[in-house]
Amino acid sequence: MNLTDHKHMKIIKVKDKHEGAKKAFDLIKEALQNDAEVFGLATGSTPETLYKELRESDLDFTDKIAVNLDEYIGLSADHPQSYSTFMNDQLFKAKPFKETHIPDGLAEEQVETERYNAILDSNPIDVQILGIGTNAHIGFNEPGTPFDTDTHKVSLTDATIEANKHNFSSANDVPRFAYSMGIKSIMSAKKIILLAYGENKAEAIANTVNGPVTERVPSSILQKHPDVVLIVDEAAASKL
Ligand code: GLP
């Protein structure tokens, strides 16, 4: 492992997603020791090794609050491919929280975005876990999303549908829309831990760290956050 400081970003290079999970786990444990209460959580395959570490640990979240980034529109919470089901299986069944919040994929747009923004307002996030899309999206904030958005309805790009289709029978079954926390909400988190593994994330990571801060690269805004830890394996770090 080695550490590099880049602007405010602390970059931790790890061997693989297992070592990455251990580093992220240590940061979460430290946050708990410092009385963190609200955890912003992410879906996708990237945080799976971290959730395994958490499931198998003795950490206690029963008086903590989880707020997830996003959910597909059109899927009910108990749909097998919903992010709600993912979170229950990956973490919440094994590690119950006092409260868990995920956007409701069946709710009407205005009602749901207002409801979720109110949840975020009353539960300021202490630690936000993030993955990253190959096009540098964070949450489901696709390239071009204004940096000052809060929770909103997203039209998923073809690249994202392609990248996420492995969880569905075919690309046609992937929902075209999602609700996502906005970039403004993500940037309000006190601490952000961004995880990225694999060669297909290398360009997004290079643009995140060294590229211009532009809405074309949603994750580039993280350069402006005071406490970001980037945990990357060698392949994801290969273009840094
Ligand atoms: C989805 C999620 C993101 C996630 C991204 C990458 O689009 N909404 O939160 O970071 O996928 O997924 P993976 O970790 O499977 O590469």
Q: Is the CB of 20 under 6 A from ligand 1?
A: no
Q: Which pLDDT score is estimated for 3? A: 55
240 in any annotated domain: no
- Measured CA to CA, the distance from residue 61 to residue 63 in angstroms comes to 5
Q: What atom in ligand 1 is closest to the CA of residue 156?
A: 7
**DSSP conformation letters of 180-211:** E--HHHHHTSSEEEEEE-SGGGHHHHHHHHHS
Do 166 and 203 touch, CB atoms closer than 8 A? no
57 in any annotated domain: yes
DSSP symbol at 90: I
Alpha carbon of 151 to ligand 1 centroid (Å): 17
Q: Which pLDDT score is estimated for 197? A: 98
* Other CB atoms within 10 Å distance of the CB of residue 135: 18
Q: What atom in ligand 1 is closest to the CA of residue 140?
A: 8
12 three-class SS: strand
- Measured CA to CA, the distance from residue 103 to residue 92 in angstroms comes to 16
Alpha carbon of 46 to ligand 1 centroid (Å): 7
66 in any annotated domain: yes
Q: Which pLDDT score is estimated for 96? A: 98
Least confident of 83-92, 157-166, 188-197: 157-166
- Measured CA to CA, the distance from residue 134 to residue 71 in angstroms comes to 18
Ligand 1: residue whose CA is nearest its atom 5: 133
Tell me the per-residue pLDDT of 144-155, one tens digit each, with 9 for 90 and over.
Answer: 999 999 999 999
More confident residue, 2 or 50: 50
How many domains does the chain fold into?
Answer: 1
Tell me the per-residue pLDDT of 70-82, one tens digit each, with 9 for 90 and over.
Answer: 999 999 999 999 9
What's the CATH code of the domain at 127? Answer: 3.40.50.1360
Q: Tell me what percent of the residues of the chain surpass a pLDDT of 70.
A: 97
Residue 228 vs residues 24, 118, 135, 224: alpha-carbon distances, Å? 12, 25, 19, 9
Strands 2-6 and 9-14: antiparallel
188 in any annotated domain: yes
Tell me the per-residue pLDDT of 104-130, one tens digit each, with 9 for 90 and over.
Answer: 999 999 999 999 999 999 999 999 999
Domain that holds residue 36: 17-198+207-221
170 in any annotated domain: yes
Alpha carbon of 163 to ligand 1 centroid (Å): 8
- pLDDT of 236 > 80? The answer is yes
Sheet (strand 152-155) strand order = 70-72, 177-180, 152-155
233 in any annotated domain: no
147 in any annotated domain: yes
Q: Which of 71, 137, 180 to mutate to test the pocket of ligand 1 (most atoms within 8 A of CB)?
A: 137
231 in any annotated domain: no
What pTM was computed for the model? 0.96
Q: Specify the residue for token string 């006190």.
A: 190
φ, ψ dihedrals at 3, nearest 5°: -110, 135
Segment 7-26 shows an average pLDDT of 94
Residue 125 vs residues 6, 38, 74: alpha-carbon distances, Å? 23, 5, 26
Q: Where are the alpha helices (DSSP H) in 75-108?
A: 83-87
Q: Give which of 155, 159, 145, 150 is closest to 177, Cα–Cα.
A: 155
Tell me the per-residue pLDDT of 21-76, one tens digit each, with 9 for 90 and over.
Answer: 999 999 999 999 999 999 999 999 999 999 999 999 999 999 999 999 999 999 99
Q: Which amino acid is residue 100, in one-letter code?
A: T
